Amino acid sequence: MKFFVDTADIAEIKDLAATGMVDGVTTNPSLAAKSGKKFLDLIAEICAVVTGPVSAEVTALDHATMMKEANVLKKIAPHVTIKVPLTPDGLKTCKALSDDGTMVNVTLCFSPAQALLAAKAGATFISPFVGRLDDIGSDGMGLISDICTIYKNYGYKTEVLVASIRHPMHVVSAAKLGAHVSTMPPATLRQLFNHPLTDKGLKAFLDDWAKTGQSIL
């Protein structure tokens, strides 16, 4: 499974990229606004740090303007992925861009039917929002299971990019179901490292080492 980090914080991206755990970055207008930077400059800065796909979302609602925005964004770097909403105009844009060889991330997916439409439009990634479904009492991971099954049935190349991840078990469950990518906030990615037995074991090893009075350096 590939890990994308869902943030526009350059310091966080650099720190996590150094671990080798970051395969790409996803952003959205809300995250970009929080950064306080000009959007185009922000995407360029992220692309200079990460070599994998970097999702940059259009803000227009109509196909023609989406295409104009996409043409600006994709000039920033070859690994910019144009992020479009799962609407009729968004899928028209997805089709046009994917036919031209541009990576496209179709976002705000909440049903298997929507995911099927995105795959038929040639999306590189589909972003189902599991956390938001869980928040309203629906089954977010059930959606991932359905999408993975449908895509496997027909051999679609669209990758399932699990979004709106709230905690490490979302990541584990998605991996068990065969999803291709998990995108998560930096704090959630760091939680994947944590286990109390790891901390306990490390403490025991270091306490025993200290008793020897030795130093490697």
Catalytic residues: 83
Helix, strand and coil content of the chain, in percent to the nearest 5, comes to 50, 20, 30
What residues have CB less than 8 Å from 16, skipping those under 6 apart?
5, 22, 186, 189, 190
Contact 71, 79 (CB under 8 A): no
By the 10 Å C-beta count (0-12 exposed, 13-18 middle, 19+ buried), 60 is classed as middle
What gap in Å lies between CA 132 and CA 135, rounded to an integer?
Answer: 5
- Sign, Cα dihedral of 27, 31, 34, 39: positive
Which of the 8 DSSP states describes residue 75?
T
Contact 167, 191 (CB under 8 A): yes
